[in-house]
Amino acid sequence: MEQTQTQKKKKPDLPLLLCILLAALGVLLLAGGALFGSKKSEAPAAPDEGEYLLALRLRAEALCNSVAGVSEAEALFTCETGFAYRYTAAGKPEIVLYPRLNGIAVVCRGGDLPQNQKKIIDLLSAAFGLSAARISVAGKA
């Protein structure tokens, strides 16, 4: 009887052994992926100021053209600052600070009507975080 009890104690617990093997396999896969499969990502390319301002302009023009009674909108942005970069010791850009907008000028058909001017100014103020005093709207000839 003592012999069967010692035999039972010597048998490994199969579910526990399986869990340990699976955990070890997972750790090996993670370590192998980190060593062999990953490449160090390079810093993102610095954005182009012209492309950034073009994207803002197109967004503003689309917003203005979506207002009833307004068409052919053209927008111009003025900025207080340009792009600013901070570099790591390795010389890679760490943080990109985008230009701070100063104002928006819009010329559009229907822009000479006060109700359209108010709608456009409110819309652009909300979209770009500028005060109404920094947005100007005029009618197109």
Residue ranges covered by each domain of the chain:
2-37, 49-139
pLDDT in the model for residue 82:
83
Residue 121: count other Cβ atoms within 10 Å of its Cβ. 20
Backbone angles phi, psi at 8, to 5 degrees: -65, -35
User: Which CATH number is correct for 49-139, 1.10.1510.10, 3.40.50.280, 2.40.110.10, 3.30.300.30?
Assistant: 3.30.300.30
pLDDT tens string, the chain, 141 residues long: the values are 555 555 555 555 666 666 676 677 666 666 665 555 555 555 556 667 788 889 999 999 999 999 999 999 999 999 988 888 888 888 887 777 888 899 999 999 999 999 999 999 999 999 999 999 999 999 998
pLDDT in the model for residue 36:
57
pLDDT in the model for residue 5:
56
pLDDT in the model for residue 93:
76
Contact 31, 69 (CB under 8 A): no
**Alpha carbons 113 and 70: distance in angstroms, whole number:** 10
Burial class (CB in 10 A: 0-12, 13-18, 19+), 128: middle
pTM score: 0.62
